[in-house]
Each structure stands twice: as C-alpha cells, then as structure tokens.
Amino acid sequence: MSGTSGRPNAGLGQQLSMRLQDPLQVRLLVLGLALLIGYLGIYVPYDNQIRAASSKLAAERRRLELAGAVEDLRAEAGRFRQRFGQNADTNQWVRQVLGGLQGLPLKLVAYSPEPARDLGPYKAPALRLELEGRFADLTRYLRWLEGNERLLRVDSLAIEPSRTGDGLLAMKLTVLGIMELK
C-alpha cells in the first residue's frame, strides 16, 4: 500500500475509469479536449495564413495611401500647369527671363545658361545672371521674376558692391524654371 488513502496503487486505466464515472470530471475532460483540438486543428494551421493576410492588407493600405497622395499631388500640379509653359524651348525661356530686364536701368554683365535637368515629365532649365544697378531696380527685377506668369525660382542670390565703384550694386543670381516636356 502506498499513499495516504490506504488503497493499493491502481493502474492508470483503473484511475481513468474511476474519474470518468464522475460527470463533472467527464465534462471538464471533454471541454479540455475540445479546446486542444480547436487550438491544434484550427488556430495553428490558420495562424500563418492570418499573419500573411494581415501583412498583405497592411501593404495594400499603404499602397492606397500612396495612390491618394499621388492623386493629391497631380491635382496640385494641375493648378500650376499653366505656369509651366507649354513650349519646351530653352531658348525661348532664356529670352523671356532676359526680357524682364527691358525697361529697367540694369546692366547685364554676364549670363550663362546651364543644361536643363530632367524632372520626370518636366524639364528644369537654369540661367546664371550677373546684373549691375541700383538696389531699387534690382528689387523690381526680382519682383518681376516672382510675379511672372511662368513658374520661376531664384535658386541663389548674392548682392555686393559693384567692382566699378560708382555706387551701384552687383547681383549674381541663378534662376530656375520648369517646362513641360512634349
């Protein structure tokens, strides 16, 4: 005899049959087996599929957000399309930028066009200018560039006293534009 109950050690089969006679213990055993079968038979096989579907869903949501952002950018670009210029002629663009000097008492000391850069469906020509004149006249030219119907940007600007020493200022600037490629 072993144990405190005073009964001889029964075999595993006998202990199991004794426990299965109690309805509460049978219910707990059936419930435990159902949970184990559900976990091993349903959850584990589908867990990898659920994770794959979740990551795919997250990727598709990011794509949808990106598509929305692209549409917003296209709509915003559409508002500026008339300012891009329909003619992709760099020479015409240079003439227009230099045409803003007409009527202003400014001296064009030097200019050098740079090769146009490709920006997707657009072309970005650049022009380096060196002008001499009074501050008010240089400012009027900058305002003309800012208010121009074409989309222009002053990329760099430096103002210093003129080398001639006659009280004028020398302005070095780089002007960028955007043209639509055809």
**Interval 118-144: pLDDT, tens:** 877 778 889 999 999 999 999 999 999
Single-letter code of the amino acid located at 149: E
From residue 52, alpha-carbon distances to 59, 60, 72, 149 in Å are 11, 12, 30, 52
Q: Extract the tokens encoding 94.
A: 């240079």
Which residues are within 8 A (CB) of 12 and not within 5 positions of it... i.e. 6 or more apart? none
Q: How far apart are CA 87 and CA 96, in angstroms?
A: 12
Q: Extract the tokens encoding 88.
A: 């992709």
Whether residue 25 is predicted with pLDDT greater than 60 in this model: the reply is yes
Q: Which CATH superfamily is domain 90-180 in?
A: Ribosomal protein S6/Translation elongation factor EF1B (3.30.70.60)
- What's the pLDDT score for residue 2? 47
Higher pLDDT, 79 or 109: 109
**Interval 53-94: pLDDT, tens:** 999 999 999 999 999 999 998 888 777 777 666 666 778 888
Averaging pLDDT over each range in 20-24, 48-52, 66-70, which range is the top one? 66-70
Residue ranges covered by each domain of the chain: 10-83, 90-180
